Amino acid sequence: MLVNASEMLKKAVAGHYAVGQFNINNLEWTKSVLLTAEEMKAPVILGVSEGAGKYMTGFTTVAAMVAAMDKALGITVPVALHLDHGTYEGAKACVAAGFTSIMFDGSHYPIDENVAKTTELAALAHEHGMSIEAEVGSIGGEEDGVVGMGEVADADECKRIADLGIDFLAAGIGNIHGVYPDNWKGLDFEALARIKDKIGDMPLVLHGGTGIPAEMIQTAISLGVAKINVNTECQLSFAAATRAYVEAGKDKEGKGFDPRKLLAPGAKAIQDTVREKIELFGSAGKA
């Protein structure tokens, strides 16, 4: 059931759990996430970066595929189709394409410009019944060409952006896209507590969900994080399972080269990762 992400995240804040956003790249990814969310009776968010949108031949194709698959699989859990780290232009394109939610990542603009663009896009999203996420501070590392310096968000700036009519807020608190380096200092919970204190019950978003230790996830949820984004971890699982299949020579046995067989272990590995994250985030059975 395609919906915006507003209600599911309000419920998550009230229920002290987080909804997983899993980024999708193709049909196998989408199907794996949808089937696992349904199996777990968990609300879920499908994240689409601008790069992944281009790869899937545009946001209109993605929206059509997701809507058709949601219906054909008989998905009953709430599913939001969300633009991840959107530009101003990308956000407008996703409104037109039929997404149910957008993220406008204006964190690299000076605060006044971030405010102006976020205000305009929040009004546009709400006119179309969509939810909108904004970002303050920046997520370290790189994801699909989006590079961040890992700057910790200022609580007053968070409050200023939160008051623009957005539905949920991503705040940089030392989180990084991709695999965390060995010398990572961990999440800055003091900053998170200051932000939570200023913005009250607005759901907070934790990007860079790959590989964050379970205790840090629990603490983040207790401080108002209600949406956790995971991308790299599914890619790593998919790659490892596919490599194991090929290295075992299974693509050379029978019709093992058939893409429906070749991609099956990777798709199963994505399901296993998504299942594990849904359990960890506490959203199982919350649909």
Between 208 and 224, name the residue whose CB sits nearer to ligand G3H: 208
Q: Is 178 annotated as a binding residue?
A: yes
Amino acid in the structure at residue 87: T
Distance CA 130, CA 76 (A): 19
Nearest one of 282, 285, 23 to 177, comparing CA atoms: 23
Choose, from 70, 84, 144, 188, the residue flagged as catalytic: 84
With CB cut-offs between 5 and 8 Å by kind, which of Zn ion, ligand G3H, none does residue 233 bind?
A: ligand G3H
Q: From Zn ion, ligand G3H, none, which one binds at residue 231 (CB under 5 to 8 Å depending on kind)?
A: ligand G3H
For ligand G3H, give the closer residue by CB, 86 or 224. Answer: 86
**Which stretches of the chain bind Zn ion, using CB under 5 A?**
207, 229
Smallest Cα–Cα separation from 113: which of 89, 88, 94? 88
Say if residue 177 carries a ligand binding annotation: yes
57 in a labelled binding site:
no
Whether residue 208 is annotated as binding a ligand: the answer is: yes
> What does 209 bind: ligand G3H, Zn ion, none (CB cut-off 5 to 8 Å by kind)?
ligand G3H
As measured in angstroms, the least distance from the Cβ of 37 to Zn ion is 19
Between 45 and 162, whose beta carbon lies closer to Zn ion? 45
Cα gap 69→54, rounded to integer Å: 19
Check whether 230 is labelled as a binding-site residue.
yes
Taking the complex as a whole, the smallest distance from the CB of residue 139 to Zn ion amounts, in Å, to 5
Q: Would you say 166 and 124 are in contact if contact means Cβ atoms under 8 Å apart?
A: no
- Minimum distance between the CB of residue 83 and ligand G3H, rounded to whole angstroms? 10
Q: Is the dihedral of CA 209, 68, 91, 42 positive or negative?
A: negative
232 binding partner (options Zn ion, ligand G3H, none; Cβ < 5 to 8 Å by kind):
ligand G3H
Q: Shortest Cβ distance from residue 14 to ligand G3H (Å)?
A: 24
Report the length, in residues, of the chain. Answer: 287
Residues forming contacts to ligand G3H in the complex (CB under 6 A) are: 23, 47, 84-85, 143, 177-178, 207-210, 229-233
251 part of the active site: no
100 interface partner picked from Zn ion, ligand G3H, none, CB below 5 to 8 A per type: none
Residue 118 or 210 having the CB closest to ligand G3H: 210
Residue 232 annotated as lining a ligand binding site: yes
- In the complex, what is the shortest distance from the CB of residue 207 to Zn ion, in angstroms, rounded to a whole number? 3
Q: What is the separation of C-alpha 164 from the centre of its chain, rounded to a whole number of angstroms? A: 21
DSSP assignment string, 169-208: EEE-SS-BSSSPPTT-----HHHHHHHHHHHTTSPEEE--
- Tell me the H-state helices in the chain: 6-15, 27-40, 50-55, 59-72, 88-97, 111-127, 155-162, 189-199, 214-222, 232-247, 259-262, 264-281
Rounded distance, CA 86 to CA 95, Å? 11
- By beta-carbon proximity to ligand G3H, the closer residue of 31 and 207 is 207
Q: Which residues are catalytic?
A: 84
Annotated binding site for dihydroxyacetone phosphate: 178, 208-210, 229-232
